[in-house]
Structure 1
Amino acid sequence: MPRKKVTEVTGNGGMKKKKPSGKRKERDFSSDDDFDFEQENNKKPGRPAAKSGLQPVTVADDLKEKIKLECPKVKGQLLIFGATNWDLISRKEVPKQQAAFRNLGQNLWGPHRYGCLSDVQVSSVVSGPCAAFSLLITTEGKLWSWGRNDKGQLGHGDTKRLDAPKLIEGLSDQVIVSAACGRNHTLALTDDGTAYSFGENKLGQLGQGSQTDAVLSPATISYNGQPLVKVACGAEFSMVVDCKGNLYSFGCPDYGQLGHNSDGKYIARSNRIEFDCELIPRRVALFIEKSKDGQIMPVPNVVVRDVACGANHTLVLDSQKRVFSWGFGGYGRLGHTEQKDEMVPRLVKLFDFPGRGASLIYTGYQCSFAVNEMGGLYFWGVTNTSRECTMYPKIVQDLCGWKVRSLACGKSSIIIAADESTISWGPSPTFGELGYGDNKAKSSTSAQEVKTLDGVYVEQVAMGYSHSLVIARQDTEQEQDKLKKLPEYNPRTV
């Protein structure tokens, strides 16, 4: 139902931003109190923002909720397939400083067990569409990492690449319940709602109040508000959600991906374009919907329940099962039937009807997914840029009737755990992340069952830029025997 257009909105109010000298001045909006909808309906996009003067979010200790987040109930054995030469992924050549690793790692065309993890029970596995590294969380809540480590994103206090998973000692006294991977940075969430970050921080994506080349060991973000319950990473930005359903963002504001009505660009010396980055978590206070004639209206009562980030865009699922998207609009990944960037979270209309709400959301590098209340999987955006893009959510016909349990998307490939099967597809070139096996098809434009995992019940899937990870159930002797028949991967080391 269309909402009444307004020119003034009341809300929680926000701190005014300081205007730095030497930069083009622009009114910025830190909450819906400051947002003039008449002005916004006629404004030209792409103006630079003023530098944020916000202080870290702080809530008095006696007003904080006391929470205890649970580790995922999943447990099983980790399997890997795809590209494992971590320094070569997404590059034409291994960097000179990593020359010693040039010939380490191979393309695994089918599922492999990690030899070093034979006795480790895994409850969650994490990577991301921009990531050439991965994380796993054990059933005891310990965080392990491996892969590319140019910026310390593995959290071991150095920049040495790791070809096999290793415990992050700096978090060994914490119980980790979830984590997220950006291009070169990591967020980890503890059971008491505290977020740690490490890795690249040139654009403030660690939320620690500074811009530095890299932070090599885990440190808490600059936030003292209500306990956090969700974390997510884009390529160079981050999102966190607190237990009250408030969304906070930090990092690079390019394309409006932080949701603060600005892309943060300004012209520095020598006509160089630079960004006013958000260095600490800042609340995303405004959610909107746009009518067919382009009028902008606020959407009230948004309580965020889940968040997912692509390379430069974000999806949010709220308590009313509505979906919002914003950031880079290219190839239709926002689902608004147009390719415009969105500077603040905008309602995806398809899911704003009774009985049609979303229950799950996922993002790929330049695409988006949602599972609706009826169990239907919807897709929008693009996986293959040489093919036609999908400008708004469309049902994935190949998966009608399947109950999707877990989904992950890398640069262009997709993997899904549904019912008793594992399903994947993706355009060429691929590097084994589809898991079809040696001497089998390397790519597929339509959903295919992964026959190499027949008889293996997959609890959860994750996908990096060009590698896949799955947690395989091993509760029965039959399941254990099936896993033992899979080849073991023991990477060479320098």
Structure 2
Amino acid sequence: MSTKRKNTSSLEKSRGKAKKVEYDDEDISSEHESDVEDADAGSNVDGDDAVEDADDLAVVATMPELPPPEGGWGKPGTLAMCGLTNWDMSGRKAPPKGVKATVGRSLWTPHTFKNLEGTRVRLVASGPAASHNVVVTEDNRCLVFGRNDKGQLGVGDTKRRDEPTEVETLKDHTVIAAACGRNHTLFLTSRGIVFAAGDNKLGQCGVGKSETCIAAAMKIKYTGPPIVKIGCGVDFSMILDIKGGLHSFGSPEYGALGHNTDGKYFITSTKMAFHFEKVPKRIVLYVERAKDGHVTPLDRVEITDFSCGYHHTVAIDNKNRAFSWGFGGVGRLGHAEQRDELVPRLIKFFDPPSRGIKSIHCGSTYSIAINVHGSALMFGQTKRTGEANMYPKPIQDLSGWEIRCVGCSQTSVVVAADESVIAWGASPTFGELGFGEMRKSSTTPMEVKALEGLYITAVTCGLSHTLFICRDESDEEKAKLAKLQEYSV
């Protein structure tokens, strides 16, 4: 099936300068910045920007904590990592000025992290476009490491960290979730408060200020029900409140924010800009589109889960229905067409009750859904070239496995199922699949032999690396983990 993008808008044909491009490589992000500008007049920055940080934190300290799920905020275990550790080189063809291309190496098989000195971890987080990571230890320390050129680690500067470093701003908080975009990070605390750090040029940190870089993690500008889930695209963010309301902020390009606009306007006849959302704004409209094009708004949609790709989002509601919106290229929205969706649109393929879905995991240009029967279906394109799935299709190699957690990268997928890890991804890979040096990539799902017999409780993929939490309760599990090579900075 051809995946060539069709331009259906006659308006865009008349505007030669407003050509749609998907920016996948870090190398070309500077081109994007020079063409597209934010106009302060169009942004919804709050007038009284300066709420005193001390007062803010005092209010936070009085908020009640959310009730933890059964088993607490993540089961602690041993951290393992594989993939590229030269954080400044991932996703780039050449190193930036002043950066050594030889610092860090590729870990072709999973390694334990010597620098943690035996500390157990209960949370790992990265993202399909991210070259940085968040790790939360059993004793509630929030540690970060990786690329930091935009302050995305939230430690107060822009120096790269190879060794896990504690985020000082979050010392008095229990971090229960984190999400990483290309150059920004969100942290969620047990009180339902969200902190953000990193690149804020497009408003993706949601702090309501026009600062281009938030180097120290800062509370976002949001007053509403407590937040229970967070997510990041390349340059936009999503937060989900406890009542099922989804809020978005950052770049509205391709309709990624779900507010029925792609935010474009022309400053002059040749210069285009975007209205960026600099504070969280609730998504209020969810629709169903019939084959004849008729659009019906849906009432009382209560979102329970979601996942963000590079420029798209898929969400699930309390009736196991799936909605998707944003960039529509190569079928990643699951609607069997390539148009961009500016508001959340129901994916008809997943109509409950027999086809409802229970979890969703988005990579760069694809989405993987786990349905109510436990089967995995993929739509979009995991390879850089070739055929795409224009609508959800079962991943036959995963049938019969009980899938627990899924990590999605740019082109690689890592799945924890039963007591095995299954991975696949097209070349080039940098060790994120954990197969070893003899076989670095695979276009079909394969078991990762190095982790055979280990029970993985969590997995997350970055741009070219993977982090695992391995259960370490029995002597047998500890013995298997001891056989893994150690990585030290």
- With the length of structure 1 as denominator, give the TM-score of the two structures: 0.85
Could you tell me which residue of structure 2 aligns to residue 281 of structure 1? 280
Which is worse superposed, 138-147 or 303-312? 138-147
**Residues in 2 aligned to 1:52 and 1:490: alpha-carbon distance in whole angstroms:** 45
Secondary structure, aligned partner of 2:479: helix
Aligned partner of 2:91: which letter? S
Secondary structure, aligned partner of 1:193: coil
**Residues in 1 aligned to 2:482 and 2:117: alpha-carbon distance in whole angstroms:** 10
5 Å-filtered alignment, 1:239-318, equals 239-269=238-268, 271-318=270-317
Aligned partner of 1:254: which letter? E
Distance 1:111 1:287, change over 3 A: same
Is the 8 Å Cα contact of residues 65 and 226 (structure 1) preserved in structure 2? no
Could you tell me which residue of structure 2 aligns to residue 89 of structure 1? 90
How many angstroms does 1:69 deviate by?
A: 4.4
Secondary structure, aligned partner of 1:474: coil
Could you tell me which residue of structure 1 aligns to residue 169 of structure 2? 170
**Residues in 2 aligned to 1:486 and 1:319: alpha-carbon distance in whole angstroms:** 41
Could you tell me which residue of structure 1 aligns to residue 415 of structure 2? 416
How many angstroms does 1:413 deviate by?
A: 0.4
1:181 paired with 2:180, answer yes
**Residues in 2 aligned to 1:204 and 1:377: alpha-carbon distance in whole angstroms:** 34
Could you tell me which residue of structure 2 aligns to residue 234 of structure 1? 233
Distance 1:356 1:65, change over 3 A: farther
Is the 8 Å Cα contact of residues 350 and 356 (structure 2) preserved in structure 1? yes
Could you tell me which residue of structure 2 aligns to residue 198 of structure 1? 197
- Deviations, residues 333-373 of structure 1 (Å, cap 9, x unaligned): 00000010000000011221213211111100110011111
Aligned partner of 1:388: which letter? E
How many angstroms does 1:52 deviate by?
A: 5.8
Could you tell me which residue of structure 2 aligns to residue 369 of structure 1? 368
Secondary structure, aligned partner of 2:212: strand
Which is worse superposed, 265-274 or 312-321? 265-274
How many angstroms does 1:321 deviate by?
A: 0.7
5 Å-filtered alignment, 1:355-366, equals 355-366=354-365
Aligned partner of 1:466: which letter? S
1:483 paired with 2:484, answer no
Is the 8 Å Cα contact of residues 79 and 470 (structure 2) preserved in structure 1? yes
Is the 8 Å Cα contact of residues 288 and 296 (structure 2) preserved in structure 1? yes
How many angstroms does 1:149 deviate by?
A: 0.2
Is the 8 Å Cα contact of residues 45 and 278 (structure 2) preserved in structure 1? no
Is the 8 Å Cα contact of residues 367 and 381 (structure 1) preserved in structure 2? yes
Distance 1:292 1:55, change over 3 A: farther
Is the 8 Å Cα contact of residues 184 and 199 (structure 2) preserved in structure 1? yes
Is the 8 Å Cα contact of residues 67 and 227 (structure 1) preserved in structure 2? no
Distance 1:53 1:133, change over 3 A: closer
**Residues in 2 aligned to 1:67 and 1:55: alpha-carbon distance in whole angstroms:** 28
Is the 8 Å Cα contact of residues 364 and 412 (structure 1) preserved in structure 2? yes
Secondary structure, aligned partner of 1:350: helix
How many angstroms does 1:211 deviate by?
A: 2.7
Aligned partner of 2:94: which letter? E
Distance 1:54 1:212, change over 3 A: closer
| Structure 1 unaligned residues grouped into runs of 5+ | 1-47
Aligned partner of 2:460: which letter? A
Could you tell me which residue of structure 2 aligns to residue 431 of structure 1? 430
How many angstroms does 1:140 deviate by?
A: 3.1
- Deviations, residues 152-194 of structure 1 (Å, cap 9, x unaligned): 0011101110112121111111111001000000000110100
**Residues in 2 aligned to 1:385 and 1:104: alpha-carbon distance in whole angstroms:** 27
Secondary structure, aligned partner of 1:170: helix
Which is worse superposed, 134-143 or 381-390? 134-143
Is the 8 Å Cα contact of residues 204 and 250 (structure 2) preserved in structure 1? yes
How many angstroms does 1:92 deviate by?
A: 1.3
Secondary structure, aligned partner of 1:326: strand
How many angstroms does 1:200 deviate by?
A: 0.3
Aligned partner of 1:477: which letter? D
Could you tell me which residue of structure 2 aligns to residue 75 of structure 1? 76
Could you tell me which residue of structure 1 aligns to residue 114 of structure 2? 115
Could you tell me which residue of structure 2 aligns to residue 45 of structure 1? none
Could you tell me which residue of structure 2 aligns to residue 460 of structure 1? 458
Distance 1:53 1:162, change over 3 A: closer
Secondary structure, aligned partner of 1:331: helix
Is the 8 Å Cα contact of residues 69 and 229 (structure 1) preserved in structure 2? no
**Residues in 2 aligned to 1:92 and 1:135: alpha-carbon distance in whole angstroms:** 25
1:221 paired with 2:231, answer no
Secondary structure, aligned partner of 1:212: coil
**Residues in 2 aligned to 1:367 and 1:280: alpha-carbon distance in whole angstroms:** 27
Aligned partner of 2:101: which letter? R
5 Å-filtered alignment, 1:23-34, equals none
Is the 8 Å Cα contact of residues 182 and 234 (structure 1) preserved in structure 2? yes
Aligned partner of 1:303: which letter? E
- Deviations, residues 393-450 of structure 1 (Å, cap 9, x unaligned): 1111110111110001111000000011100000011111110013x21111100000
5 Å-filtered alignment, 1:327-406, equals 327-406=326-405
Q: What's the C-alpha RMSD, in Å, of the aligned pairs? A: 1.8
**Residues in 2 aligned to 1:153 and 1:269: alpha-carbon distance in whole angstroms:** 33
Aligned partner of 1:87: which letter? D
- With the length of structure 2 as denominator, give the TM-score of the two structures: 0.86
Could you tell me which residue of structure 1 aligns to residue 444 of structure 2? 446
Is the 8 Å Cα contact of residues 140 and 175 (structure 1) preserved in structure 2? no
Aligned partner of 2:447: which letter? E
1:473 paired with 2:471, answer yes
Aligned partner of 2:239: which letter? V
Aligned partner of 1:134: which letter? N
Could you tell me which residue of structure 2 aligns to residue 32 of structure 1? none
Secondary structure, aligned partner of 1:110: strand
- Deviations, residues 51-108 of structure 1 (Å, cap 9, x unaligned): 465869xxxx9xx9955242533111111111111001111111113x2x43211111
The count of residues paired between Structure 1 and Structure 2 equals: 434
**Residues in 1 aligned to 2:156 and 2:249: alpha-carbon distance in whole angstroms:** 23
**Residues in 2 aligned to 1:423 and 1:408: alpha-carbon distance in whole angstroms:** 10
How many angstroms does 1:452 deviate by?
A: 1.0
| Structure 2 unaligned residues grouped into runs of 5+ | 1-38, 48-58
Could you tell me which residue of structure 1 aligns to residue 154 of structure 2? 155
Is the 8 Å Cα contact of residues 325 and 345 (structure 1) preserved in structure 2? yes
Secondary structure, aligned partner of 1:355: coil
